[in-house]
Chain A
Amino acid sequence: MTDLAWIDGVLRASRPQTVSALLRYFRDLDQAEEAYQEACLRALKNWPVNGPPRDPTAWLIMVGRNFLLDDVRRRSKSEALPPDEMISELDDAESDLAERLDSSHYRDDVLRLLFICCHPDLPATQQIALALRVVSGLSVKEIARAFLVSEAAMEQRITRAKSRVAKAEVPFETPGAIERSERLAGVAAMLYLLFNEGYSASGGDVHVRVPLCEEAIRLGRLLLRLFPSEPEIMGLTALLLLQHARAAARLDADGGIILLEDQDRSRWDRKLVDEGVALIDKALRHRRPGPYQVQAAIAGVHAHAARAADTDWAEIDQLYATLERLQPSPVITLNRAVATSKVKGAAAALALIEPLAKPLAGYFHFFGLKGALLMQLGRADEARVAFDRAIALANTAAEAAHIRMQLDRLLRDIKIPQ
Chain B
Amino acid sequence: MLYAILCYHDEAEVMSWPKEKDDAVLAKRAVVANKLAAQGKLGPVARLMPTTAATTVRSGREPWVIDGPFAETKEQLLGFYVVDCANLDEAIETARELGRDEHGALEIRPLRLFMPGSQTA
Residues of chain A whose beta carbon lies under 8 Å from any beta carbon of chain B: 1, 9-10, 12-14, 56, 218, 221-222, 224-225, 228-229, 234, 237, 271, 274-275, 278-279, 281-282, 285
Are A278 and B16 neighbours in the complex by a CB distance under 8 Å?
no
- Do B88 and A229 touch (CB < 8 A)? no
Cβ of A221 and Cβ of B13 under 8 Å apart?
no
Q: Indicate the size class of the contact surface on chain B.
A: 20 to 34
20 contacts between A and B (CB under 8 A): A9-B21, A12-B13, A12-B16, A13-B15, A14-B13, A218-B15, A221-B15, A221-B50, A224-B52, A228-B66, A228-B67, A229-B67, A271-B112, A274-B49, A275-B110, A281-B88, A281-B89, A282-B53, A282-B55, A285-B89
A281 to B67, CA, bound (A): 11
For residue B45, give the distance in angstroms from its CB to the closest CB of chain A: 15
A56 to B112, CA, bound (A): 27
CA distance A281 to B15 in the complex (A): 21
Interface of A is mostly: helix
Cβ–Cβ < 8 Å partners of B11 in chain A: 225
* Assembly CA distance A225 to B16 (angstroms): 14
Say how far A135's CB is from chain B's closest CB, in angstroms.
13
Residues of B within 8 A of A56 (CB): 10
B120 at interface by CB-CB < 8 Å:
no
- From B16, B67, B68, A9 is in contact (CB under 8 Å) with B16
Instruction: With CB as the reference atom, state the residue of chain B lying closest to A276.
Output: B53
- Using a CB–CB cutoff of 8 Å, the interface residues on chain B facing chain A are 10-13, 15-17, 21, 24, 49-53, 55, 65-68, 87-89, 110, 112-113
Kindly list the 7 A-B residue pairs having the minimum CB-CB distance in the complex, ordered from nearest.
A228-B68, A13-B13, A281-B88, A13-B12, A224-B52, A228-B67, A229-B67
Q: A279–B53 contact, CB under 8 A?
A: yes
Residue numbers in B under 8 Å from A275 (CB-CB):
49-50, 53, 110, 112
- Could you say which residues of chain A place their CB within 8 Å of the CB of B51? 225
**What would 18 more interface pairs be, CB under 8 Å, given A56-B10, A224-B52?**
A9-B13, A9-B16, A9-B17, A12-B16, A14-B12, A218-B16, A221-B52, A228-B67, A234-B67, A271-B112, A274-B110, A274-B112, A275-B50, A275-B110, A278-B110, A279-B53, A282-B88, A285-B89
